[in-house]
Every structure is written in C-alpha cells, then in structure tokens.
Amino acid sequence: MSRSPSLPFKNDPPRAGEIDRGAARDKVVVGVADLAVVRDATKSIVTYALGSCIGVTVYDPVAKVGGMLHFMLPESTVNAEKALANPAMFADIGVPLLFQKVIEAGARRERLIVCAAGGAEVLADDGHFRIGSRNRTILRKIFWKQNLLLAADDTGGQHSRTLTLRLADGVINIRAQGKETQLWPH
C-alpha cells in the first residue's frame, strides 16, 4: 500500500476571468459557462474540466486576438432565465457571442482559426441524454450555417480535458489522461 500524505495540491484555481500570475505565462481562466476575449500576445487563455461541455477557441493570427468559450448545453430553450443571465452557458447563443466579441476586439472573421475540444459522454448512455454528442452536433450545425470550418477538434470519449490557447502564436494544447498534446497547428 502506498501513501501520499505530502502529495502537493495543484495551485488554487483562479476565478473565472482572473489572470493567473503564478503560472509561467500569464493565463486568463475561462470558467464553466464563461467566455473571454483577449488582445495581449503575452497571455494564454485556459479552461479546465471540459467533460460533456465544449471549449471553442477562435484566434486571429494577424491581430493576435483570441477568444475562448466554455459552454455547457446545446440549446438555450431549456432555461430562458439562465440564457438571459449567462448566454455563455449555451452553444446556440454563446458561439455567436464569442464571434461578436472577438471581432469587436479587432479580429477579422476571414482570418479566424476555430478549434474545439470536449463533448465527452458518460458510459453506456442509452441515448436518453447524450449531452456531449448533442453539444458536438449543434456546434457542427452552427458552423455549417455560418459557413465556417473547424481547423481542429478533439471531442468525444469519456475523459476530462484542459484546453489552452497561447495568444503569441495561436498554439492550442490539450491536457487529458495525464498527457499534453498539441491540437493546433497539427
């Protein structure tokens, strides 16, 4: 039997929208049902614990403007009050808001590199809920309607993911199952 009484904790998580200055590079943290748009090439944007939720990143490599959305559910019709209070909770109103905010911050739509991660599913969901896959489906529909292409995505499965967008060069990393991989550029 092994014990780990002194196993260190990870740093306390900064609150959503705060800058994590303890990290090697300043990070803007996007919470669950939250979005952030940043125009500062020294920073990264990160979101933790993407399960069935999906993280969407947009990045303009010329303006060095980037944004990230962490939405929970596909459609805002499920809870109109929450949708009004926090549009970032839902894909159908959160994704357009992300694009609006990043363009307001100086990005150009035609230059945007769009990526996504998350959309995991609980085991043996017999089709009743499938929140992860319905999140993935609505994202594809939104991009189809907007005539946008996903540059890269890492979705599905059962594991939780941490998604990071580095604004200096647009590199997107995913940490899952104890491993870090680069999602973009391929």
Partner 1 sequence: MATLNDALATLDTLPALPTTSIQLVGMLASGGREADLREIEAIIRHDESIAATVLKLANSAAFSSPGRTFSLGESVRRLGSRTLCRIALETQVSGTLANAGRSYGLRRGSLSQCAAGGALAADTLARRHRIDPELCFVAALLRDIGKLAIDALAGPEALEQIAAQADARPFLAYEREAFGADHAELGGILCERWGLPSEICGAVRGHHEPPSHPASAVTDIVHAADCVARWAGLGLGCDGLLYVFDSAARERLHTTRDELEALVADVLSASTPQATRDLHSLRSTA
| Residues belonging to the active site | 53
Closer residue to partner 1, CB minimum distance, 156 or 185: 156
Structure-block tokens of residue 17: 């929208």
**Tokens of residue 32, six digits:** 């669950």
Q: How many residues does the chain have?
A: 186
Least gap, CB of 104 to partner 1 (angstroms):
26
Choice between 14 and 61, CB closer to partner 1: 14
Report in angstroms how near the CB of residue 107 gets to partner 1 at its nearest. Answer: 27
- C-beta of 16: minimal distance to partner 1 in Å? 10
Taking the complex as a whole, the smallest distance from the CB of residue 30 to partner 1 amounts, in Å, to 11
Kindly state the DSSP code that residue 182 receives in the 8-state scheme. E
CA distances in angstroms from 25 to 131, 165, 175, listed in the order given: 33, 12, 16
Nearer to partner 1, 37 or 54 (CB): 54
Which spans of this chain sit near partner 1 (rule: CB under 8 A)?
Answer: 1-5, 7-13, 32-33, 48-53, 70, 72-73, 78-79, 82, 89, 120-126, 128-129, 131-132, 157-160, 177-179
Q: What is the 3-state secondary structure (H, E, C) of 149-165?
A: CCCEEEECCCCCEEEEE
Long-range contacts of residues 146-152, Cβ cutoff 8 Å, at least 24 apart: 146/99, 148/112, 148/114, 149/114, 150/114, 150/115, 150/116, 151/113, 151/114, 151/115, 151/184, 152/115, 152/183, 152/184, 152/186
CB 84 within 8 A of CB 141: no
Judged by beta carbon, residue 32 or residue 171, the one nearer partner 1 is 32
